[in-house]
Amino acid sequence: MTRINRTDVGDQIYHVLNRANARVQVFDTPFDYKMFEDILEEARERFGMRLLAYCLMPNHWHLVLYPKQDGDLQKFMSWVSNTHTRRWHTAKGTIGEGHLYQGRYKSFLCQADIHFLTLVRYVERNAKKANLAKRAEFWQWSSVWRREVGTPAQQKLLSAWPVPTPNNYLLWLNAPQTASEEEAIERSEEKNIPFGTNRWQTMMVKKHRLGQTMRGVGRPKNRG
């Protein structure tokens, strides 16, 4: 099967995610979660990556990244994925027992406007939606927890957002998202479709030769 083209350009926002092979649990204990967060910190220092948001779930994770230079996304994600796989198998005593992840990570572009806020909201409320936390900011293994109650050292993992944070963000974060918002993001996840206004989406598809991502898939509704 032909792989869908992926972009890797600097100064663009990306939603990146991956799931465990056969949907087994990647994170069983607090040690497992912290090990991945430690890897993110090492990778941020090593590659100068801007991490805008994240959420770690038992069998998958979401990152919102803002690379500075062309090629930075692949370098960062390759190091994170390979390092996590190696350390996870070492910790579990399962070296040589197969792949940790389903395959290569998925990623798609996101427009730096209300679509970015909608995406971050989708990522940061994952644990609440899955009934793992009463409120999104109560889930320790997420960027919203770090921003709200993390120590100054913990907050250094996160970079400033490219758009202003809404004054009522926590209230908005904990309210249910609409079905159309979730469907548009999930469609982008599946097909690598840029998430933004129709005009911006068309421009990104043409600029980065992503036409194959649009075949047979209806476009998200224009929120712009």
Which tokens hold the place of 72?
A: 């930075």
As a whole number of angstroms, the distance between CA 120 and CA 166 comes to 12
Residues 6 or more apart whose Cβ sits within 8 Å of residue 8: 67, 70, 71, 72, 73, 74
Q: For the segment 137-183, what is each residue's pLDDT rounded down to a tens digit?
A: 999 999 999 999 999 999 999 999 999 999 999 999 999 999 999 99
Q: Is the pLDDT of residue 214 over 70?
A: no
Residues 6 or more apart whose Cβ sits within 8 Å of residue 166: 117, 172
Q: For the segment 170-209, what is each residue's pLDDT rounded down to a tens digit?
A: 999 999 999 999 999 999 988 889 999 999 999 999 998 8
Instruction: Write the DSSP string, 189-223.
Output: HHHT--BS-HHHHHHHHHHTT-GGGGTT-PPPP--
Q: Is the pLDDT of residue 223 over 90?
A: no
Model-level pTM greater than 0.95? no
Q: How far is CA 24 from the centre of its chain?
A: 19
Per DSSP, 101 falls in state B
CATH superfamily of 13-214: Transposase IS200-like (3.30.70.1290)
Q: For the segment 72-101, what is each residue's pLDDT rounded down to a tens digit?
A: 999 999 999 999 999 999 998 877 666 788
